Structure 1
Amino acid sequence: MRRLIILFCLILFTKSFGWEFRRPLNIPRSFLIAPSVLGKIYAIGGIKINNEITNVVEEYDFLSDTWIIKKPMPQKRYDMGFAVFDNKIYVFGGVSRSSSGRLIVLRDLNVYDPILDTWFFKRPLPSPRAGACGLAINNRIYVFGGYDFSENYLDEVLIYDIERDSWLFYGNMPRPRARMALSYYQPIVHIIGGEFYGPTDKHYCLNLNNNNWDTLSPLPFNRYGFSNSYFDNKIFIFGGEYYCHGQRYFLKRVDIYDCENNNWYLGDSLNIARSHAGGGIITNPYGNFLYILGGNTINGITGSMEIYQLSGIKEKEINKIDKKDNKNILGIYDLLGKRMKENNLKKGIYFYLIKDKNNYYLKKKIVIK
């Protein structure tokens, strides 16, 4: 008979020592997406060094610092949008090539299940677009902006109903744009920077409770093609590019927006200035890490990867792992950080990584046979 004993401890927050390099992509590329799901990072699509559009998918394992090839996307594409819901990656729009070699803008919506390593087709966008950004909120995916085949910038906001597999028109942004930052700080959606016939610093917000738009403190530096993420009531904008007197400049710059105080401050710079990279935040038993990988640099397309530790994770005191927790478990890990399955736990210590709204915490379990 197996007995379960639950113990508690506190994992202290740790100080980061700046951006650190990790193993590069097997296939360098730019204009890719790189969401994280269940403690792993998925580098999807993009443009390779030879300017070839690709549908390759690579999976990054944090513990072993390795990349492996997974099942490719159904269609080659770059500059697509994405959102993550229920541990699945929703990929929409983007740019591809027709059978004749002509560039085309897509309507496709494909869903990747990392657990099954399988792609599914869903109802396509109402109209083609690339450079759009998405957020998953309450069983819906909100899609903002982008550009069409004629390179007209879009101000549309669309909603995809996941359960009904249907699209509806939500409204319009104050200004058209593409390749911007999109973050959600309940009930506010932040739309920051991006491209509208050149880089912009505009910062708008949408209150989903009353559908009203407002203007907030602008991005300190005009740019687009950056990576971004949200953590602890802050929005991180890292990398990107801008133009000055016809010259293209890549950025190492990291700007941090405080959602509560509506102000900006500088963070630690990247090691490599880059734009149109994949980036985001990953949470695992070691802590919360920003990451950026691939992209365009002054030396061309890169496959390099950098991470930045934001903090460790606090354990939350509990008496048992209840039904509510079971729905929110992102993963089970041993002391070395190896992902485990519930029915394969042997004698030892394990950590349950659990998400509660925008917060993450660990539950520590000791299994005694």
Structure 2
Amino acid sequence: MYIEKNMEGDSVGYLHGEVRSLKRSLHRFTIAVTVLSVVVVAIFIALIAVGASQHNSIKNLKQKAGTIEDPKVAFATGFGDRNIEGFNYGGSLFRGSGFWSTRKALPGNLTDHAAVGYNEENVFIIGGANASGSVTNEVWMYDAIFHNYTKKAPMPEPRYRFGAALVNDKIYVVGGRNSSADENEAMTKSTFIYDIQKDAWSKGKDSFEYHSDTCADSLDGKVYMIGGYGQDYLYLDVAEVYDPEQNEWTRLTNMPTARGDLMCVAAAGEIYALGGYYNNLANPNDSFSSKMESYDPKSMKWTSRPDLLTPRGDAGIVLLPGDKIMLIGGEGHYKNQSDFKYPKHVNEVYYVTDQTWVEKAMIPTARFRTAAAQIGGLAYVFGGADLCINSPVCPALDTAEIYLDVDHPHVYIYLKNEPSYNDNAPLSIYPF
């Protein structure tokens, strides 16, 4: 009996202890919750106070605009060619960006050819003139994955100094010459159509006019051919468009500036015509054009655009992703002497949305009468002509190079009291 009572007492004591322990834990928890609540409320009050302070600071800064006396520099995004009042445009903060790399050389030296990108993996290199100056009808397909060239079905006849454009799975070759002779008989109006899937050529309707040293690109399923030289090397302002479905050519509104050896590309719903060689009445010794004009098929009107940074003709041209027109290399005349043709290293990109030109990393191998194509967001440049001094046949190149553009925030700099500074000025007296 005594043992049972003793055990009962121990159990009661144990329970009392547990209850006291639970009460102490609950008390500590209550204190912790209270403290935490106080801390949260304090932080919240502090944030409100900081926000109010920052708001007042920002408000005060706005009210005190111009307290930095006589600032020497300003920055802007977009429209870098437009002036900020009291400042001069100084250029972009991403001048000289981008990277070049060498790729496998062409099977032979080539100038005055065309390059057309296809399916993000292949470039078709068409026609041109070889090292001896003979015009070819050869077609090569470059594989950007395996870095090799495959010979494809040749054109029906030799062709160089022509335009080429891709519509779906077909390449359209327009204008140009079928021999290197300077006579008018070498000019052609024929339209050749290459079916990539069938590896076969067919013939379309002839164009209205002869276009030598012309350019072409496609937009909304149609092929646009712009400018060039007519018979007797007259400068052309003629523009035509070919409709593959109707097999018909249509005359367009004439280009404002007649010129040959020009470059063109489709961008942002318009056809852009750039540079070239023209009859500069104001300065006959400086006839490479810096003009850029665009044609809008909807309004059927031409619009003047910001001039090229470097006047030139026979350059490579591609459209990079983001509506960026890239102009690579090109021809210049040393000291304005037409017998001294030199190739340019310069590489410039026009940002259509910003209406601004920016100089990018120069191409390692200077060249003109070259061809370029964009696949996979990269620019591929094939062949071209080297330095040409008083020679009827310019040395042809077989080099191939690839460019990776590095995009940056589109920030432009404006300077005050430095009117002579030009971010796009030549880096050297050497004619790049």
User: TM-score with structure 2 length normalisation?
Assistant: 0.64
State the partner residue of 1:240. Answer: 330
- Quick one: distance in 2 between partners of 1:208 and 1:137? 9
Match of 1:297 among 379, 386, 403: 386
What is residue 207 of structure 1 aligned with on the other side? 296
**Secondary structure at 1:302 match in 2:** strand
CA drift of 1:159 comes to 1.5
Deviation at 1:194, TM superposition (A): 1.3
Distance 1:54 1:219 in 2: 32
Cα deviation 1:257-304 (Å, max 9, x = unaligned): 111121111111111000011112112xxxx11011111012821111
Distance across 1 between alignment mates of 2:172 and 2:297: 21
Q: Is contact 2:235-2:259 (8 Å) kept?
A: yes
- Cα distance in structure 2, aligned partners of 1:98 and 1:193: 23
Post-superposition offset of 1:177: 1.4
Whether the 8 Å CA contact 2:101–2:403 is kept in 1: the answer is yes
Query: 1:154 pairs with 224, 228, 236, which one?
Result: 236
Tell me the CA shift for residue 146 of structure 1.
1.3
Q: Is the 8 A contact 1:156 1:173 kept in 2?
A: yes
Deviation digits for residues 113-140 of structure 1, max 9, x if unmatched?
Answer: 1221111111111222212222222232
2:232 aligns to what SS in structure 1? coil
> Which position in structure 1 is the counterpart of 2:199?
117
Alignment correspondent of 1:224: 313
Alignment partner, residue 84 of structure 1: 166
**Which secondary structure does the structure 2 equivalent of 1:201 belong to?**
coil
Aligned to 2:372: 279
Q: Could you tell me which residue of structure 2 aligns to residue 142 of structure 1?
A: 224
Q: Distance in 1 between matches of 2:189 and 2:305?
A: 32
Return the match for 1:70 from 149, 152, 157.
152
Q: Which amino acid aligns with 2:371?
A: G
SS at match of 1:229: strand
Is residue 2:352 matched to residue 1:259? yes
Q: CA deviation at 1:103?
A: 5.5
Residue identity matched to 2:224: Y
* Cα shift at 1:17: 6.3
8 Å CA contact 1:187, 1:209 repeated in 2: no
Structure 2 unaligned residues grouped into runs of 5+: 1-96, 280-286, 389-394, 408-432
State the Cα RMSD in Å. 2.1
Given the alignment, which residue of 128, 151, 155 partners 2:210?
A: 128
What secondary structure is seen at the aligned counterpart in 1 of 2:208? coil
Alpha-carbon distance, 1:56 to partner: 0.8
Q: Which residue of 2 aligns with 1:318?
A: none
In the alignment, the residues of structure 2 paired with residue 293 and residue 69 of structure 1 have an alpha-carbon distance, to the nearest angstrom, of: 16
Separation of aligned partners in 1, 2:356 and 2:401? 26
Equivalent pair of 2:99/2:405 in contact (CA under 8 Å)? no
Other-structure match for 1:342 = none
Counterpart amino acid of 1:309?
Answer: L
Q: Secondary structure at 2:128's aligned position in 1?
A: strand
Percent of matched pairs sharing the same residue: 24
Contact 2:184–2:231 under 8 Å retained in 1: no
Q: Match for residue 19 of structure 1?
A: 100
**The structure with more helix, counted as a fraction of residues:** 2
Contact (CA 8 Å) 1:279, 1:291: kept in 2 or not?
Answer: yes
Structure 1 residue 311: deviation in Å? 6.7
Instruction: Report if aligned partners of 1:148, 1:154 keep a CA contact under 8 Å in 2.
Output: yes
Aligned pair count reads 292
Q: Which letter maps to 2:239?
A: V
SS at match of 1:294: strand
Q: State the one-letter code of the partner of 1:236.
A: M
Partner of 2:131: 49
The alpha-carbon deviation at position 97 of structure 1 amounts to 3.3
Report if the CA contact (8 A) 1:289-1:311 is conserved. Answer: no
Q: Deviations over 1:27-86 (max 9, x none)?
A: 211000011112211111111111111111111111111112111111011101111101
Deviation at 1:255, TM superposition (A): 0.8
SS at structure 2 position matched to 1:59: strand
Q: Which runs of 5 or more residues in structure 1 are unaligned?
A: 1-15, 313-369
Moved over 3 A (4+): none
Distance of 2:218 and 2:336 partners within structure 1: 38
Aligned-partner residue type, residue 99 of structure 2: G
- More moved, 241-250 vs 45-54: 241-250
